[in-house]
């Protein structure tokens, strides 16, 4: 009998050891399990002290386990690389008026440039720890694949083929755009022109974009024939338009408004009405890197939640203490949400303090060029499409 009991005990011990070994070595799958377990227990148990009992305290070993798991979670991730390097390599256009251009002081400015700074503030605690990598549209995805850029903030439209075949993943849309057309009034176009009026026109855009494909589809659908000329970047497109080599230029509507405003005086007209496409623009990074995706995505969400709740760079210190429970969690008053992601507890406090909330980022760059915050780019509470998941 004794021997049988001993044998059973050994068998159970052996099984437990094997299970533990398997858990330890199986990183990705186990991290997912481990994380959801630990956040479940936080969510349910944190205030229900019934569950804050000996059983969950016993999990001194659980705590150790979850520390290990959070190390595994970021291992091999771009998140680890960026932290080790101490600088974010952020892919931008550099020629996207209002989104990323170099100002007279040599500083990269614009809506996209500020989202690069927001990620650097979250991941490195320093909004200025950004190396801006200027990329043409055609170069951008290769730069992610080769590791020359960690993330793109480059007027990049989320499409099915980029998300799958090209090997990218996409973060939350930061700007809901749509493709439009612009022409000179002197060539007979007016603010009531449509695609049906462009038969025989030379239409120009930059290469490697959704816009070159959309305009061909739109011309076909309208039954008109066009000559489509593509150039390396939108500065060259605009120069050709000014020189009269293009009757029409076409790209994301926000870019046309920006170009028109920095080239005043002009008689340029943007065709009104519904844009010819949907262009959801946002952060883009290499696929299958969850830890990095989470860091980038929650940086954007932090700017959105702060915008929704009126937390900005001016009141963030006060909100860290006097904000509602979600804001205190988001800003690091209870740092666990951020630390399990491999970030500092105050990661999103740094984003709002150093860069600002979504509205501050938008207002700093776009309304001065005539791009107003309206429609889809307003909060869901105002009828828009900006809707961040809860920080919980
Ligand atoms: N959103 C489109 C177009 C992106 C694009 O290249 N837009 C122009 C207008 S904002 C641009 O960035 N121009 C600057 C450049 O080409 O360097 C895409 O993802 O393909």
pLDDT of amino acid 16:
31
pLDDT of amino acid 133:
98
Confidence of residue 3 (pLDDT cuts 50, 70, 90): very low
* Residue 159 three-state SS: coil
Of 33-37, 75-79, 189-193, the one with minimum mean pLDDT is 33-37
Q: How far, in Å, is the centroid of ligand 1 from the Cα of 137?
A: 6
Ligand 1 in reach of 180 Cβ (< 6 A): no
CA distance 168 to 284: 7
339-350 pLDDT tens trace? 999 999 999 999
pLDDT of amino acid 219:
98
List the alpha helices (DSSP H) in the chain: 2-25, 27-45, 54-57, 60-74, 78-85, 111-124, 140-146, 160-163, 210-222, 234-242, 253-262, 290-308, 316-322, 325-331, 336-339, 347-354, 358-365
301-337 pLDDT tens trace? 999 999 999 999 999 999 999 999 999 999 999 879 9
| Bridge partners of residue 92, in order along the sequence | 134
pLDDT of amino acid 72:
61
Q: Which atom of ligand 1 is nearest to the CA of 208?
A: 20
Tell me which residue has its CA closest to atom 6 in ligand 1: 137
In this prediction, what percent of the chain has a pLDDT beyond 70? 81
Token output for 300? 């954007």
CA distance to 83, 116, 254, 303, 381, per residue, from 387 (Å): 29, 20, 21, 11, 8
Phi-psi region of 17 (alpha: psi -120 to 50; beta: other; left: phi over 0): alpha
Token output for 100? 């990323």
- Name the nearest CA neighbour of 347 among 276, 385, 297: 297
pLDDT of amino acid 46:
30
Residue with tokens 């930059």: 206
Ligand 1 in reach of 210 Cβ (< 6 A): yes
Residue 92 · residue 133 · CB < 8 Å: yes
CA distance 49 to 174: 40
> Span 21-42, mean pLDDT?
27
Residue 207 · residue 135 · CB < 8 Å: no
Which of 139, 171, 216, 251 is the pocket-test mutation for ligand 1 (most atoms within 8 Å of CB)? Answer: 251
Q: How far, in Å, is the centroid of ligand 1 from the Cα of 136?
A: 8
Q: Which atom of ligand 1 is nearest to the CA of 134?
A: 17
Work out the mean pLDDT of the chain and round it to a whole number: 85
> Span 359-384, mean pLDDT?
97
Tell me which residue has its CA closest to atom 7 in ligand 1: 155
pLDDT of amino acid 279:
98
At the topology level, CATH places domain 179-277 in D-Maltodextrin-Binding Protein; domain 2 (3.40.190)
Ligand 1 in reach of 252 Cβ (< 6 A): yes
Please give the residue that has the higher pLDDT: either 67 or 286: 286
CA distance 342 to 357: 22
126-139 pLDDT tens trace? 999 999 999 999 99
Ligand 1 in reach of 100 Cβ (< 6 A): no
202-230 pLDDT tens trace? 999 999 999 999 999 999 999 999 999 99
Beta carbons within 10 angstroms of residue 95's beta carbon: 23
pLDDT of amino acid 191:
80
Residue 355 · residue 121 · CB < 8 Å: yes
The CATH homologous superfamily of the domain defined by 78-175+281-369: Periplasmic binding protein-like II (3.40.190.10)
- Name the nearest CA neighbour of 222 among 200, 238, 254, 199: 199
Of 53-67, 88-102, 222-236, the one with minimum mean pLDDT is 53-67
Residue with tokens 């603010």: 191
Ligand 1 in reach of 137 Cβ (< 6 A): yes
Question: What is the pTM (predicted TM-score) of this model?
Answer: 0.82
pLDDT of amino acid 75:
82
Q: How many distinct helices (H) and strands (E) make up the chain?
A: 17, 15
Ligand 1 in reach of 96 Cβ (< 6 A): yes
Q: Is the pLDDT of residue 290 over 50?
A: yes
Q: What is the CA radius of gyration of the chain?
A: 25
Phi–psi pair at 70, nearest 5 degrees: -70, -25
Q: Is the pLDDT of residue 156 over 80?
A: yes
pLDDT of amino acid 121:
99
Confidence of residue 272 (pLDDT cuts 50, 70, 90): confident
- Name the nearest CA neighbour of 170 among 162, 179, 178: 162
- Name the nearest CA neighbour of 136 among 83, 208, 80: 208
Token output for 143? 């730069």
CA distance to 125, 273, 389, per residue, from 333 (Å): 16, 46, 19
State yes or no: cis peptide before 265, omega within 30 of 0: yes
β-strand 202-206 against 248-252: which pairing, if any?
parallel
Distance of CA 11 to the CA centre of its chain: 51
Residues of the chain with CATH 3.40.190.10: 78-175+281-369, 179-277
pLDDT of amino acid 68:
44
Q: How far, in Å, is the centroid of ligand 1 from the Cα of 150?
A: 19
- Name the nearest CA neighbour of 281 among 144, 111, 133, 164: 111
């Amino acid at each position: 009998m004794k021997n049988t009991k001993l044998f059973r005990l050994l068998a159970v011990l052996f099984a437990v050891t094997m299970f533990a070994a398997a858990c330890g070595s199986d990183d990705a799958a186990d991290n997912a399990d481990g994380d959801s377990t630990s956040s479940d227990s936080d969510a349910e148990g944190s205030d229900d002290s019934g569950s804050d009992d000996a059983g969950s305290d016993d999990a001194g070993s659980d705590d150790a386990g979850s520390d290990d798991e959070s190390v595994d979670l970021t291992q091999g991730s771009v998140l680890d690389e960026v932290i080790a390097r101490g600088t974010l390599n952020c892919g931008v256009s550099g020629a996207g008026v209002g989104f990323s251009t170099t100002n007279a002081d040599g500083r990269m400015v614009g809506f996209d440039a500020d989202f690069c700074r927001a990620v650097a503030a979250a991941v490195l605690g320093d909004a200025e720890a950004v190396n801006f990598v200027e990329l043409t549209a055609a170069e951008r995805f290769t730069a992610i694949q080769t590791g020359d850029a960690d993330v793109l903030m480059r007027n990049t439209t989320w499409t099915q083929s980029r998300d799958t075949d090209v090997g990218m993943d996409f973060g939350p849309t930061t700007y809901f755009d749509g493709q439009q057309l612009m022409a000179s009034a002197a060539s007979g176009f007016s603010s009531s022109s449509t695609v049906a009026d462009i038969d025989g026109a030379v239409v120009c855009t930059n290469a490697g974009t959704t816009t070159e494909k959309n305009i061909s589809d739109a011309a076909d659908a309208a039954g008109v024939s066009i000559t489509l000329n593509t150039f390396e970047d939108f500065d060259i497109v605009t120069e050709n338009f000014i020189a009269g080599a293009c009757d029409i230029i076409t790209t994301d509507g926000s870019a046309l408004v920006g170009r028109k405003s920095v080239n005043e005086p002009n008689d340029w007209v943007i065709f009104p009405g519904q844009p010819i496409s949907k262009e959801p623009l946002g952060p883009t990074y290499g696929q299958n890197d969850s830890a990095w995706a989470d860091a980038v995505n929650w940086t954007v969400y932090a700017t959105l939640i702060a915008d929704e709740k009126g937390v900005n760079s001016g009141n963030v210190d006060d909100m860290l203490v006097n904000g509602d429970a979600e804001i205190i969690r988001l800003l690091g008053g209870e740092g666990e949400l951020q630390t399990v992601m491999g970030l500092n507890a105050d990661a999103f406090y740094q984003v709002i303090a150093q860069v600002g909330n979504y509205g501050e980022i938008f207002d700093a760059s776009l309304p001065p060029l005539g791009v107003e915050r309206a429609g889809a780019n307003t909060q869901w509470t105002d009828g828009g499409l900006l809707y961040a998941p809860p920080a919980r």
